[in-house]
Amino acid sequence: MLYLNVPPMRLVNYLIDSPAMRIVGYDYLGDLKIVLSESLEDGNPAIDRDELVTWRRGSSHLINLSCHAMGPPTPRLAKSSHVRLPMIARRGVPRDSNPQRREHRLRGVGLGSVGPHRYREIKTPHGGHGSSMEVAMAVEETSLVAAAPAQSPLAAMMGQLVRGTHVSQAISVMARLGVADVLADGPQPVAEIARQVGAHDSALYRMLRALGDVGVVTELDDRWFALTPLGALLRSDVPGSLRAWATMIGMPFHRYSWTDLYETVRTGEPAFDRVYGTQFFDYLAEHPEDAAIFDTAMVAISTNEAASIIEAYDFGRFGTIVDVGGGRGGLLTPILSANPHLRGVLFDTPTVVSGAPGELSRAGVSNRCRVVSGDFFDSVPEGGDAYLLSNVIHSWDDDQAVTILRTCRAAMADTACLLIAETVLPQGRQPSPAKLADVGMLVLSTGGRERTEAEFRAVLDRAGLRLVRIVPSSGRFDLVEAVPHARS
């Protein structure tokens, strides 16, 4: 794999259709990852060199990747571009050849024309060894002129990290307004988008223009905008939708507490309690509109994680699952759907589960799922073969977590199993998104935290449970499996 240090807020949503290479994604800082395939149709490539030409706004820039092919390369050209930086695929040729150039208009997948950008194919004779292939990204039209020297890479990266809060807030506003739903059927002029979502024309244009630079939308001619595959995740009606979560991140009840992180780091006291004068869940109980936004976001997170959890763990060995703190059934519903013999009990506070029957009915599992309301600090329903706690334990300090686990243990038979679906912090120094999520718990909750395997083991042991194993999934959550101490 070859890594190119590319400014993370620009290079997104590219596809290259070539038997020689493909873009596979971006790492945590947004660096572009390109994989060279093991073989071309007529030979094997070997990387000769890679070169990054820095760029800045308003200039034209190149990122060149050159490799030598052991036979005549036959790559096909990139077929799509979803943002303002079009992909240009070019076959290099020997200096003494006469390339024949052809221009092709780029078209976005499902979007129609994405603007006046073009890419060029340079036809080359089928030479032997030493012919080269280049892949270039160009800003603006097809002018391929290297940029003037830009600020240092470290300064550019730090600047983008510092401005990350501006990006997340703009994305949250776009999600809350429902802009992605308006653009679902194709590009629209900003005046029409503003009319449909109830926004100010000029202000909305300025925000969407900025989001075009991070790949969420594409700005077209005459103040038109199109949705990108990245931005499509903010639609309400797509699998894996992040609209509810993105909306919550920018809401005042969530955002304001982060502004007090300084005092939290100085004192160790949760920011939310200090800013609002009450604890997080007590606040939600008194503010139903914010509580509804939070609940919807939690349902979306559970639903999005469900597929990876179901793939990772065999729920089919149980007869009845009790989902403790299960919200409106975002995780339990797909588990029941995937296991037709399974029965479920959905348990949460009265306010939360009030909306669950409709969700269960729409999913066709209401005849196999009982809805029970209560407080998991006091008791939980008995009779389950498995007790599931998804995204629950991390909201509480160790003593409160032990209390919740003890109430589960009291309801469990000695043959039952307890499952905690949460992110497990790595024990060492390896990168993990759970670390930033843990800072979020520091800000929002009174004692809540993400935990390592050792920390999970400790609270489970205090509750009379023994950690058996941690089952990783392909998503954000792992499954911590525990059984009563009484079981040998």
Positions annotated as catalytic residues are 394
8 Å CB contact between 250 and 176:
yes
User: Both tokens of residue 487?
Assistant: 């079981």
Sequence-ordered alpha helix ranges (H) in 71-187 = 153-162, 164-177, 179-182
8 Å CB contact between 25 and 13:
no
User: Both tokens of residue 482?
Assistant: 């525990």
Please report where in the chains the tokens 């890479």 appear, as a residue: 153
Classified as helix, coil or strand, 127 is coil
Q: How far apart are CA 118 and CA 449, in angstroms?
A: 50
24 secondary structure, DSSP code = E
Q: What are the two backbone dihedrals, phi and then psi, of residue 292, each rounded to the nearest 5 degrees?
A: -65, -40
Burial environment of residue 119 by CB neighbours within 10 A (0 to 12, 13 to 18, 19 or more): buried
For residue 165, what are the contacts with CB-CB under 8 A and spacing of at least 6?
A: none
Furthest-apart CA atoms within the chain: distance in Å = 83
Q: What are the two backbone dihedrals, phi and then psi, of residue 99, each rounded to the nearest 5 degrees?
A: -70, 145
Cβ atoms < 10 Å from Cβ of 100: 10
Q: How far apart are CA 382 and CA 412, in angstroms?
A: 6
Distances (CA, A) of 86 to 21, 113, 215, 451: 17, 12, 12, 43
Q: How far apart are CA 393 and CA 387, in angstroms?
A: 13
Query: Could you give the angle at the alpha carbon of 35 between the alpha carbons of 33 and 41, nearest 5°?
Result: 155
